[in-house]
Amino acid sequence: DDNRFDSLGEASLVDLPSLSEVTLAGNRIAQVQRGAFDKLPALRRLDLSRNRVRRIHPEAFRQHSNTLEELWLSANAIDHVTEARSLLDAVPRLRYLDLSYNYIEKIPFGALRGHPTLERLHLDHNRVQHIQRDAFTAMPALRELRLRNNSLSSFLDGPFWNLPALKGLDLAYNYFRRLDPRLLANLPLLRRLDLSGNALEVVDPDAFLNTRALEHVNLSRNALVNLHPATFRDLQGLFELDLGWNRLRELVPTLPPGLEYLYAPRNQLTALPVAPKLALPALRLLDLTGNGIQRIMPGSLSTLGQLRWLHLGENALQTLEEGSLSGLARLEVLDLHNNRLLSLDDKCLRDVPQLKQLNLHGNRLERLGTQHLEKNVHLTHLDLSHNQLNSIEPNALASSRALQELDASNNALTELPEALQGLSTVQLLDLANNRLKALNPSALSSMKSLSELRLARNKLQQLQQNAFHGLPHLALLDLDSNELTSMETNAVRSLPELKAIRLGRNKLLTVPTAAFTDLPQLQSAELQENQLTNIASNAFSDVPQLLLLNLSYNQLTGLNHAGLKNLKSLEVLDVSHNQVARVGSGNLEGMEWLVE
């Protein structure tokens, strides 16, 4: 691979009885000449992708070299499909042929017909504008055909194929405007169809009449405004349907009852169908992100008893009523981010007792009440960020004993919620960008599994002794951009797994003796952009692994006031933008690892 071979002449590779794979990708090969591959009885795989191949001699593969099964010719300069025809004749056992990223413009009748073993044919990212009738026929083994990113349109006169074994057809990112039965004729076993990224405006109600075996249909990123109720009536095996990024104004009624995955994000839906129109008893995922849905009527989802994932983010919901989620007893993921929620009914989440992830990011909620999560004992991830929360009631999380991540950043909380007490399984707590003025060590000390504590951009003024005591797994402590003016001795103490502490952009004047003590894993300490004039020589005590200390943008006058006495492991020390006038000969004594 990736050398400068410019041709494959006669006998380039000859008489190598054990050779099974040849890879020549990324060279400058323009031609493959007669007899280039000769007497290679074990050759199975040949990769000539990313070259400049225009022509392959019909006799490039000669005596005892017809065992080839996989051939890569993607990203070359092939502009006529007759090159593929000669290849197919020369390698009768070929199973995979990749001609993607070439310059083929048309596929005439007979050019690709009549190969007995070919299973996968990739023609995506070419310039194909025209396919003659029955161009793809007499290929009994072909099961995957890709024509993605070409210039095919609805003006062509089909049918194009008669492929009884084809299971996957990719026509994405072409210029089809209409889908009718003619396009999918003679494909009785088709399982997967991708027509995304076209310009589809109309889907004929009988479009899928002859492809009843379809299981996956992708019609996303088109221009569909509506679909006839009978469009998918014959697809009783339909498993997954993607209608996202269209202009649909309502969900298709009477979808096949066996459907398990339905995607319809970025449409123009303003309401959900009222049961029983949305009768999909096997549905596991429903994605309606980015529509204009204003309300979930109580009971409207009651026929979706198997639903596990419900994505309703970026809609126009203002409230969640009691009964809105009735019937969703198995729901595990509920995404309501970036709506306009002002309130939640106290009982609205009682119908989803198996809920594990709840995303309420980017709404306008002001409180989380005691009853909201009362029945959600399996909740592991809760995102309340970017709301207007000023209150989390003391027992609001009393039932959430499985919680692992809690994000309440970017709200209006003025004190550390009492509700945090007892959350022994929480690993990440994010309360950044609130209005917290003080910490409550007793609330934090019960969070025995906490590994990340994010308290940046609050109004904290002081770090008291043992402020973070009892957090054996804490690895990151972020207190950046607060209003800290002082910290006591042993403020950050006995945290055996702490690796990074961020105290930059505060108002600290001094750091006392043993402010940071018994921190065996601490590697990074950031104290930049404070007002520090003095750091006690023993401010860091029993901190043997510190690699980076950032003291930039302070008011230190010398390194003897920078707390460096015990920091022999430092590799990076930043004291830029201070008032240091001189560096004494002993200031950096013992720092054998310092590199910057």
The domain containing residue 537 runs over which residues? 460-596
Highest mean pLDDT among 145-159, 262-276, 531-545, 582-596: 531-545
In the block, which residue shows the tokens 């993921």? 333
Establish if 416 belongs to a structural domain.
Answer: no
Highest mean pLDDT: which range of 12-26, 270-284, 370-384: 370-384
Q: Is residue 540 part of a domain?
A: yes
Q: DSSP states of 435-447 as a string?
A: ------HHHHHT-
Burial class (CB in 10 A: 0-12, 13-18, 19+), 9: exposed
Token look-up 């509506």 returns: 226
* Per-residue buried b or exposed e for 216-240, using 16+ beta carbons within 10 Å of the residue's own CB: bbbbbbbebeebbeebbbbbeebbb
High-pLDDT (> 70) share of the chain, %: 99
How is residue 462 written in tokens?
């002081």
pLDDT one-digit tens code per residue, 60-105: 876 555 789 999 999 999 998 888 887 888 888 999 999 999 999 9
User: Residue 590 domain-assigned?
Assistant: yes
Structure tokens at 548: 């980076």
- In-domain check, residue 395: no
pLDDT tens digits, one per residue of 429-478: 999 999 999 998 888 989 999 999 999 999 999 999 999 999 999 999 99
What does the mean pLDDT of the chain come to? 93
Map tokens 């849905």 to a residue: 293
Residue in this structure with the two tokens 């104290």, named with its chain if needed: 527
> Global pTM?
0.92
The vertex-348 CA angle with 345 and 352, nearest 5°, equals 160
pLDDT at 376: 97
- CA distance from start to end of the chain: 40
Least confident of 123-127, 425-429, 431-435, 557-561: 557-561
Would residue 551 count as lying in a domain? yes
In a domain, 533, yes or no: yes
Q: Using an 8 Å Cβ cutoff, are 32 and 55 in contact? A: yes
Residue pair 418/395 in contact (Cβ under 8 Å)? The answer is no
Cα dihedral angle (502, 504, 505, 507), rounded to 10 degrees? 100
Nearest by Cα to 313 from 281, 274, 273, 357: 357
Place of tokens 């934090």: 444
Q: How far apart are CA 374 and CA 517, in angstroms?
A: 40
Mean pLDDT of 166-173: 98
Structural domains counted in the chain: 1
Asked whether residue 208 is assigned to any structural domain, the reply reads no
For residue 516, what is the domain's CATH number?
3.80.10.10
Q: Is residue 231 part of a domain?
A: no
What's phi and psi for 176, nearest 5 deg? -70, 135
